[in-house]
């Protein structure tokens, strides 16, 4: 099995980087081949725009989906996008390593998705969700947060972490992935002790690293997050009668 780790943190000495390194070490020990896409270290440009397309379909007005489809069909996608797509195509499992910034993934990672999940090449109106390009492959997010775990509970001041991560998870499902429940490391902020004494904080970091390793060792036992699919929607794209849905974003009327 081949694994791609998409790592998104600007500091190579960060705890996110340590979790990334732990994943590489653990997965290789388990016999997997591992590849890392280090977005900051490789200088990935997250801003989609006309400058990426040398032979645009419409030189007058830039439309991202039009240009992505045109470039995909013409074989003229930007080199960095082609590189990332090739990495995705090789991977049976994709691990996304990132901190939660402003209640979502960092802009760098969002921009990576904007540019790399190419319309026409990796998805179309009929090739998405449970009919997506990457169906049969898996994805998992390893996420750090600044606040303690309690603040990301359903009644916490940080907001329910399951709801905060839903857009990321749903985008991966949109591309066809079986999305595994995330691994969460809470209370990480600035690389130093914030909510507890330094010794306790360092011990907690080691506990998280060991927990992430154990999680990777037991991925085969992990059940993907359930999402609604094509058979659950009617011709209008809404839930069919009798389908309750699985979350607070797509659900039957209470």
For residues 206 and 9, give the distance between their C-alpha atoms in angstroms, rounded to a whole number: 19
For residues 30 and 220, give the distance between their C-alpha atoms in angstroms, rounded to a whole number: 12
For residues 29 and 11, give the distance between their C-alpha atoms in angstroms, rounded to a whole number: 25
Q: What is the mean pLDDT of each run of 10 residues along the chain (254 residues)?
A: 97 94 97 98 98 95 97 97 98 98 97 98 96 97 93 92 96 98 88 55 84 95 95 94 89 78
Residue-level pLDDT at 193: 42
Residue-level pLDDT at 196: 53
* Residue 115 · residue 70 · CB < 8 Å: no
Residue-level pLDDT at 132: 97
Domain ranges of the chain: 2-223
* Domain 2-223: CATH superfamily, name plus number: Flavodoxin domain (3.40.50.360)
């Amino acid at each position: 099995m081949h694994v791609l780790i998409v790592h998104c943190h600007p500091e190579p000495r960060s705890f996110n980087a340590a979790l990334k390194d732990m994943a590489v070490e653990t997965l290789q020990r388990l016999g997997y081949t591992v590849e890392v896409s280090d977005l900051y270290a490789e200088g990935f440009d997250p801003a989609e725009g006309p400058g990426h397309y040398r032979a645009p379909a419409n030189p007058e007005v830039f439309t991202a989906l039009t240009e992505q489809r045109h470039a995909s069909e013409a074989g003229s996608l930007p080199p960095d996008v082609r590189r990332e797509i090739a990495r995705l195509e090789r991977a049976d499992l994709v691990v996304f390593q990132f901190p939660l910034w402003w209640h979502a993934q960092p802009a760098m990672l969002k921009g990576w998705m904007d540019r790399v999940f190419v319309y026409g090449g990796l998805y179309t109106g009929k090739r998405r969700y449970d009919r997506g390009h990457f169906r049969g492959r898996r994805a998992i997010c390893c996420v750090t947060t600044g606040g303690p775990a309690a603040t990301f509970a359903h009644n916490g001041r940080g907001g329910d972490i399951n709801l905060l991560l839903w857009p990321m998870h749903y985008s991966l499902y949109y591309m066809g992935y079986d999305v595994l429940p995330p691994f969460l490391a809470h209370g990480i902020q600035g690389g130093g002790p914030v909510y507890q004494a330094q010794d306790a904080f360092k011990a907690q970091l080691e506990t998280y690293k060991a927990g992430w390793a154990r999680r990777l060792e037991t991925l085969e036992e992990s059940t993907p997050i359930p999402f609604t699919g094509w058979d659950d929607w009617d011709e209008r794209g809404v839930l069919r009668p009798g389908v309750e849905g699985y979350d607070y974003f797509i659900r039957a009327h209470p």
